[in-house]
Structure formats: C-alpha cells, structure tokens
A and B are shown apart, each in its own frame.
Chain A
Amino acid sequence: QAVVTQEPSLTVSPGGTVTLTCGSSTGAVTSGHFPYWFQQKPGQAPRTLIYDTSNQHSWTPARFSGSLLGGKAALTLSGAQPEDEAEYYCLLSYSGARVFGGGTKLTVL
C-alpha cells in the first residue's frame, strides 16, 4: 500500500500565506490521484475543502486553493484566519483505493 506524506506541523501568521503539501511513495502526485483536502477540528468530523486537485465545495472559503506543485498535491491558504487553525488531511486515490496522509497540524499564530 502506498504511503502518503504530509508535513507534521506548520505555523502561519494571521493574514499570512502557507502551503501544505501531499506526496506519494509511488512517485509524483498527478491529477489521476484525484487529490482531496480535508479540514478537521477537535471533536468534529472531517470537512472536505478541495476535491479532484483544485475544486472547491460551496462552503470552502475562497482563501483555500488546491493545486499540483513540484510532484505533490498542494493546499494553499492565503490570508490565514484564526479559525483556520486545525488538522488538515490529504487523500489520494490509487486505482480506486484511497489512502490518507498523516495530517498537518496548522497553527495560526
């Protein structure tokens, strides 16, 4: 089974910009991995922010965007808000099976 890697933790200043990445042990992440990004706050179910690399749900704040960057999937937060402090997970598809990354704890400080 593939291993999906994320930064364990990142810190961003309020109003600042940060990029979270999602890599695959099998090689470069492509659109064919249909990358997803989820936000999870303590005690809550995950909430999908981005699907299929760069598509936003209707509830996704415009400050979140998804892309492919340097062989990885990326989630960029532009103009961080205190309420963005959370755990972020990526999910990649491997011929229909899915694998989550280990998560990135984002601190807004």
Chain B
Amino acid sequence: DVKVTQSSRYLVKRTGEKVFLECVQDMDHENMFWYRQDPGLGLRLIYFSYDVKMKEKGDIPEGYSVSREKKERFSLILESASTNQTSMYLCASTDRGPNNEQFFGPGTRLTVL
C-alpha cells in the first residue's frame, strides 16, 4: 500500500519562528511536491523536486525553502513564519510514468499566531 506521511497533522507556531514540515514517501518516487491549500484558492505549488538535492520553485516560493537530502524525504522550511502562512500544507509524490498520478499525504494544518 503506497504511502506518503507528513510529520504533523496540526501545528501551532508563533510569528518569526522557524518551522520544519517533513514528508516521507515509501514508493521510491523521484518527484516530490509541496503545496498549500487555502479556501477559494485551491492547491498552489510551492516547490518541487525531481531528484535528490534538486529543487525547483513553484508558483508561490516566497517565504519558503526546501531540502531533499534523501530520495524518500522532502522538507519544507518556513525561515520566519508569518500569519499569512497559516494554511493546510500538502506533500505529494509521483513517479516518472506518463500518468502523473500524485499521491498525497494527509496534510499539515499550520496555524501561525
């Protein structure tokens, strides 16, 4: 059974804190993604990675960075959390096949106070 796990389901942080969101997949997928999901705005791509140590900016990378030191793990970092980063964060992975099915984790609901 394929699986994408995220380190926390709910997280509350204070403005200015450094925040780490971790994602692990057990499917040996090359590609991994971080999205945020907000009401009325849908899924927005923050960063993606197509290989270890490789990363590409998505549509809204400002205020975020990522790290991929191992194939199965993709971390999202908020260097200095702000209230407008309160959101649902979803990690996903895909293989290199043509059908592009994305396997999603359960999401992390981050609240920045």
B is bound to A:
no
* Interface residues in chain B, defined as those with a beta carbon under 8 Å from any beta carbon in chain A: none
* Interface residues in chain A, defined as those with a beta carbon under 8 Å from any beta carbon in chain B: none
